Chain A
Amino acid sequence: MPSKQFSTDTVLTFSELGHGAQFKAFDMHNNRVLKIPLTEAETYQVARRRRNIIHGTVEEIAALDVRVQTFMNSKARIPSMVSHAFTDPAPFMKILGNPKVELSGEYLPDDTHEKRWSSARFIYTQDKVDTAATMLRSLERTGAPTASDKKRLKRYIEQYVELIHEAWCYGYSDYIFKLGDTGIDKDGNMILIDLGEWTADFDFVRRAITEKWWLDNVNHQKNDFPKLPKELEPFYIKTLEEAFTEEELTKRWRSKHVCTDCTEEATTIAAFVSTKVAEIDYIDRL
């Protein structure tokens, strides 16, 4: 059994920071955040709220079920990504906020009818950040951004592009591209905090890039994305159109991926499996 990363010798006081569709985040007050997976029922509630369906049609409810399963399944991929045997994992882990996954089943009780975690039976900790989501909402509240805000936000978008490019070098990518799910840690480093929607499937990322899923950050129909100020939209679109291309992806993909996990056989099996599971992600984007 792996050793547990928490000790009862140190009494920590946790306070809830918020939740997405996959995890609840708690401040551990030691510059780390603890993430506890939502149960299937909780995920269903969040998904329903986001779609704003209270009494949906049969089709809408079915779509909601699919969406819930996608949320549950995609977060289950986190442990394998975080524990991938890179010869030097530190640079990639830094991009993800140095996550530490606790797979020990002792933290979560067995599934019951009311509380079901299914395949996402783990908790993890991660570096704490000041989030872009809060920053974007703050800008939304204050109205028109100042010249200084615009300058910083442009730099932030450029840093975001650099970070995604860096992640591609390790053969992984976020495929939702929610700018709000990024943040800056205490040392000023940008971190991609939402690990629940990542993939190592090149074809899938290529599709996300080709179809420009990153446009959701400026799509005003997508109410679960904190929005960029309107004045910055042209800059964002231009920057990402130039940076998130198939050529840029191909050039970088796995260029720094040095590990002991990816044998030829393992790669073949992984490719086969990812092809099979990719349909879940496709459904997510419908």
Chain B
Amino acid sequence: MQTPSFSDHTHIIDGMFYHYAFIGNGAQFRVYAVYTHDGRATGRVVKIPLDFSETRQAIIEPLRKLDLHSSEDDLAESADKQTHHIMQFKHDMPRLIEGVLGKDMALQRKMGRLKMLQVPIPTSKKNDTTYRLPTLFTQEYVITLDEYLQQFRMATNPYMRSLDIHSAQQLSDVVDQIIALNFAIWEYGIFEFVFKPENFGIRFDKNDKPELLWIDLAEHITDQQKALAILGESRWRHAVMPQKLDYQFMPAIIQQYYVDMCNKHLTAENLQKYWRRKSDQLEKTHARKLRMREIVTRDGKKAVGHWIARHNLSQSLYKGFSPAVIDDMEFPLGDIEKLLADRDYLTAEKMTSIEEKVERAIAEFRNNDQHIFPIVRPPLSYERNHS
């Protein structure tokens, strides 16, 4: 089991059976690694949904940095609007583990065996007759792609870092898997539309072969026309655009390969080719079975029932949760309440990569056709730790 380690400064919540180590948050969830009470890694994380104000807080600073707003009011309005969108997308998460998607073991492996957890929580200690039912998720604990890519920062500068053949091969393999993961979800008519490198996680087998996973697939759509429009604007380029401060910046060493591969594969033609390929196949298989039942039954009422069921497959095949996608870690209610109430994570230490900033700055200078002199020297690890 490859469970990343955490530092002494990690924000930890002590529960009844488990310890929960805060490992980060996006705009939708706070993520905690789950450890047993005696400190053993369970290999899973629990994802706690952010409420409206937390989500707004998570996005407002990145929005401000983008500098697209004429006034504070304009920024506030934009933040509210975007928060609504994000909250909406979060509601679509269960779709990824429902029906035939939940039963596709290969797909579920690619999503880090995402599982859902809904536990009724009393709304107050005094009143045990009213409840709320937050939707939590658990998932395998892997390192983020961003964390993995840190080792390749500044590798374009031979004085800073050099890549061995194995690492270079591994890096190109990772990019190939980004493409493959997109194809895998297109086959179910799902399109991830933000193309953020930080939405992926990575783990390695015993031969050190990387396996990429979707660790955050919340921002997805199912409308093919919208998907085509997004592909048309090459949104995946945001990860190599230095001014896109709301995206992790791809290490310079891999950018050209990433751009070439995306240009070659994330195309309208491929979207048409892969779109709903598995879904159509599954619907056809199930339709054939229902058609057979419709033909062989002598009961006219049942025949109509099978016929209408056949014409409902586009809905019914994608509904329902199998036990495999319902979390069975049996988190105590008190632990869940603590996790939901946690706001101390806001003060937890946020790791920032100075090398990423430097690479972004270099790219920006280059885009503006400016020369960089003197060469920006990233601080040594000693300096970083004491800055």
Contact = CB atoms under 8 A, between A and B. Distances in A.
Interface of A: 8, 11-17, 27, 29, 106, 130-132, 134-135, 138-139, 148-149, 152, 155-156, 159, 183-184, 188-189
A13 B294 CA distance: 31
B299 interface: yes
Contact of B312 (A8, A12, A106, A130): A130
Contacts of B308: 130, 132, 135, 152, 156, 183-184
A155 B300 contact: yes
Contacts of A155: 300, 303-304
Given A13-B321, A134-B312, A106 B130 contact: yes
Given A13-B116, A106-B129, A183-B308, A188 B320 contact: no
A170 to B, nearest CB: 21
Contacts of B305: 130, 184, 188
Interface in B92-110: 94-95, 98
Contact of B98 (A8, A15, A159): A15
A11 B118 contact: yes
A138 B314 contact: yes
B133 to A, nearest CB: 8
B98 to A, nearest CB: 6
A13 B118 contact: yes
A15 B303 CA distance: 28
A15 B321 contact: yes
B91 interface: yes
Contact of A29 (B301, B302, B312, B321): B321
Contact of A188 (B98, B130, B301): B301
B304 A130 contact: no
Contacts of B133: 14
Interface string B294-338: 100001111111011101101110011100001000000000000
Nearest to A12: B118
Contacts of B294: 148, 152
Contacts of A8: 120, 131
Contact of B307 (A12, A17, A149): A149
A159 B316 CA distance: 23
Nearest to B315: A134
B119 interface: yes
Interface string B178-200: 00000000000000000000000
B304 A138 contact: no
Contact of B304 (A16, A134, A152): A152
A27 B312 CA distance: 15
24 contacts: A13-B118, A15-B98, A16-B91, A17-B315, A29-B320, A29-B321, A106-B129, A131-B312, A132-B308, A134-B315, A135-B308, A138-B311, A148-B307, A152-B294, A152-B303, A156-B308, A184-B304, A184-B305, A184-B309, A188-B299, A188-B301, A188-B304, A188-B305, A189-B301
Nearest to B118: A13
A135 B312 contact: yes
Closest 9 CB pairs of A and B: A188-B305, A135-B311, A130-B312, A138-B311, A152-B307, A8-B120, A134-B312, A184-B305, A188-B301
Contacts of A29: 320-321
Contacts of B326: 13
A151 B303 CA distance: 11
A137 B353 CA distance: 51
A88 to B, nearest CB: 22
Nearest to A4: B129
Contact of B319 (A12, A15, A132, A183): A15
